[in-house]
Amino acid sequence: MHWSERIIEILQSSSGNLKELAEIAGLDPGDLYRFQDLSGCDLRGQDLRGLNLEGCNIEKAIIDDSTKIDPLWDFRVAKKDEEYVYLNITRQLNTMILNYMDETGYAYAAWAQRKLLTRGLRLIHIDKYQFYKDIINANRYLKDLVYKRGSISIKILLNSTCINDIGNKIPNSSTEQALAEIILVGMISRKIRHGSKKDYSQVSVNAFYPPKLMKVEGAMEPIFDFDNLDRDF
Name the β-bridge partners of 68: 47
Question: What's the CA gap between 115 and 117, in Å, rounded?
Answer: 5
E strand or H helix at 66: none
CA dihedral over 138, 126, 101, 175, signed as positive or negative: negative
E strand or H helix at 174: none
User: Phi, psi at residue 126, to the nearest 5°?
Assistant: -105, 20
| Residue 24 region by backbone torsions, left for phi larger than 0, else alpha for psi between -120 and 50, else beta | alpha
pTM of this prediction exceeds 0.95: no
Mean pLDDT of the chain: 81
Confidence of residue 199 (pLDDT cuts 50, 70, 90): very high
Question: What's the CA gap between 113 and 75, in Å, rounded?
Answer: 12
Task: Name the DSSP letter for residue 27.
Answer: S
Q: Up-side HSE of residue 64: CA atoms within 13 Å toward CB?
A: 5
Q: One-letter amino acid identity for 55? A: G
- What residue ranges do the domains of the chain occupy? 3-60, 82-208
Encode pLDDT of 63-76 as tens digits: 888 899 988 788 77
CA dihedral of 124, 129, 130, 132, whole degrees rounded to 10: -160
Encode pLDDT of 81-139 as tens digits: 667 778 899 999 999 999 998 888 777 777 788 889 889 988 998 999 999 999 999 99
E strand or H helix at 82: strand 82-89
Question: What's the CA gap between 143 and 103, in Å, rounded?
Answer: 23
How far does the chain reach from its first CA to its final CA, in angstroms?
A: 42
